[in-house]
Structure 1
Amino acid sequence: MAQSSSPSNVQRAKEALGSRLREIRQDSGMTARALAAAAGWHESKTSRIENGRTLPSDADIRVWTRLCRAEEWNADLIATARGIEGMYVEWRRLERGGLKRVQESVRPLFEGTLRFRFYQSWVVPGLLQTADYTRAVLATAVALRGAPDDVDAAVAVRMERQRVLHSGRQQFAMLVEEWVLRTVIGDSRVMAGQLDHLIAVASLPAVSLGVIPMGIERGDAWPTESFCVFDDARVTVELVSASLTVTQPREVTEYVRTFKELSGAAVYGAAARDLITAAIDALG
């Protein structure tokens, strides 16, 4: 699902959207000239959109589907158009303004979401991290990607964001692979503190924590890239070099389905605590 942010791939995405709009127009029996006349714009605009030279606005898409009697496609087409140039953002470009800025940029999303579904195959989910663990994770971004070193300020923002866990109106379903518990971030002291914190935070009324054990038969619940589902409207996916934002309803549905499959492979409650405790014991 990831799309490159290079100009050539953005152009291909525009062309794909244009082709879909052309198909909708042709299926309706309208010519490009007739659609342009009915929409009140120049015929060349229709051509530019269909050939991927112009990205249609939300209003353009609504007019197009209304005239072609295909309004059931509005949500998907608008989400696709909005996402073409903005859904794939390079970490380095985000981090150029500082790690604190990256953390602050998602505050409205976290405050406005009611249902969170997080799957982590790399690290402990940010909302469940201790300050020391977060500091170690963000320090890696500074070391490997040359981000500005404002780690302490960024840690403070992330810790403040965790107050949503206690809002009383939001629900959090968290899934982690067992190897996340076994991967030492920072040092043994930091990791032990993080694992102790996981046991404590899993007892919060709003939090469901599932751990997918190593060595089980997983069926269709294959490990995948880490992702977060915000309500049923948006997904963010963590890649090595970028953050991918998915808003197209059909693609969001795929991630919701994947989360459900992964949830079925996880253990909860006492069984999850046993795996966390075993990881603490393994630290010595």
Structure 2
Amino acid sequence: MTTTAKEAREAFGERLRNLRKDAGLTGRQLSKLAGWPPSKVSKIEYGKQVPTDDDVRVWCTHTDAADQVPDLIANLRNVETAYLEWRRMRLPHRQKQSIAVEAKTTLMRWYEPVVVPGLLQTPPYAEAILRMVLNFYDEPESDIESSLRARLERQQVLYRGNHRFYFIIAEQVLHTLVGTADVMLEQLDRLLTAMSLPRVVLSILPMEADYRTPVNNFIMFDIRMVQVETISAELTITQPSEIALYEKAFHRLKDQAVHGQDARAMITAAMDKLRDC
């Protein structure tokens, strides 16, 4: 078991321990009420044993915390998978997992502050991104071709099925140089084309927008899951209370972003700047 999985179990156990203490119960008292062996509460609280869904329900029943059952069970199911270390996942496999998740999603909402979202990337832009990622993590570039094929295969979801997409990108994305100027010009033109797709909305958060929400890149899959990429790992979030925060953040970003002709004008201005360089 990886260290991060161990930490996730311990954090979950600490949350249950706090519920027990708030209810004024000792571990032995809770075990007796639940009909468990005396050591079970201690093992769960210190991450040495993963409880079942029923264990969580029983725990909440006896600690007067029934309202927390949905969040706790969502968290429980995510304990072993919420934190996925990049070094432990090969890129082609990661891309294929994304295809499966996206295929099941009706509404995908995506915020990116620095680079173009993967579903909207051109092949040269995507290749430049993948080369940078592999280089940063000291991974062999032998994965490039298979990773690129998988990433481009993901984009088919834009044209198939009954999926809807709402992308918000920061204005910085238009100016982050990925590859060469020609690669960027092609990519920005691709954004203009994507804006005409019937099930795609693309908005841009202006650089001068007020700071109204703490935010990093994230992808929302309906209201069942959120993915967040950090430097060292990818987080998969399924707790309803946490998903609600990301939904709140997305709505605030949406209120500040521009779309339609204003967004097109920003993209065109970025293209003109590249041509003048």
Q: What SS class does the counterpart of residue 191 from structure 1 fall into?
A: helix
- Which residue of the partner structure matches residue 70 of structure 1? 65
Count matched residues.
274
Give matches, 1:11-90, under 5 Å. Answer: 13-25=8-20, 32-33=27-28, 35-37=30-32, 39-68=34-63, 70-90=65-85
Cα distance in 1 between the residues matched to 2:79 and 2:181: 42
CA distance in 2, matches of 1:164, 1:196: 20
Shift in CA distance, 20/238, structure 1 to aligned 2, threshold 3 Å: closer
Unaligned runs of 5+ in 1: none
Question: 1:268 matched to which residue of 2?
Answer: 259
Q: Which residue of 1 aligns with 2:201?
A: 208
> Distance between the aligned counterparts of 2:152 and 2:6, measured in 1?
39
2:103 counterpart of 1:111: yes
Q: Kindly indicate whether the alpha-carbon contact (under 8 Å) linking 1:221 and 1:265 is maintained by their aligned counterparts in 2.
A: no
In the alignment, what sits opposite 1:133?
A: 125
**TM alignment of 1:222-241, pairs within 5 A:** 224-241=215-232
- Give the equivalent residue in structure 2 for 1:195: 188
1: distance between equivalents of 2:270 and 2:60? 55
> Which residue type is aligned with residue 202 of structure 2?
L
Q: Go from structure 1 to structure 2 and tell me whether the alpha carbon gap of 1:22 and 1:262 turns closer, same or farther (over 3 Å shift).
A: same
Secondary structure of the corresponding residue to residue 248 of structure 2: helix
Deviation at residue 186 of structure 1 after TM alignment:
1.2
CA distance in 2 between counterparts of 1:170 and 1:53 reads 41
Q: How far apart are residue 221 of structure 1 and its match?
A: 4.2
Amino acid at match of 1:145: Y
Q: CA deviation at 1:233?
A: 1.6
* Counterpart Cα distance in 2 of 1:265 and 1:179: 15
CA shift for structure 1 position 46: 1.5
2:94 alignment partner AA: V
Deviation at 1:91, TM superposition (A): 1.4
For residues 1-16 of structure 1, what are the structure 2 equivalents within 5 Å? 7=3, 13-16=8-11
Q: What SS does the aligned partner of 2:139 have?
A: coil
Matches of 1:122 and 1:47, distance apart in 2: 45
Q: CA deviation at 1:39?
A: 3.8
Unaligned stretches of 5+ in structure 2?
Answer: none
Name the structure 1 match of 2:210.
218
Alpha-carbon distance, 1:50 to partner: 2.7
Aligned with residue 101 of structure 1, among 88, 93, 117: 93
The RMSD of aligned alpha carbons is 2.4
TM norm structure 1: 0.87
Q: Distance in 1 between matches of 2:64 and 2:209?
A: 48
Q: Identify the residue that residue 124 of structure 1 maps to in structure 2.
A: 116
Alignment CA distance shift 1:153-1:10 (3 Å): closer
Label 1:23 to 1:239 Cα distance change in 2 as closer, same or farther (>3 A).
closer
Distance 2:211 2:28 in 1: 52
TM-score by length of 2: 0.89
Q: Which residue of 2 aligns with 1:151?
A: 144
Partner residue in 2 for 1:255: 246
Change (3 A) 1:34 1:13: same
2:89 aligns to what SS in structure 1? helix
User: Which of 260, 265, 271 in structure 2 is aligned with 1:280?
Assistant: 271
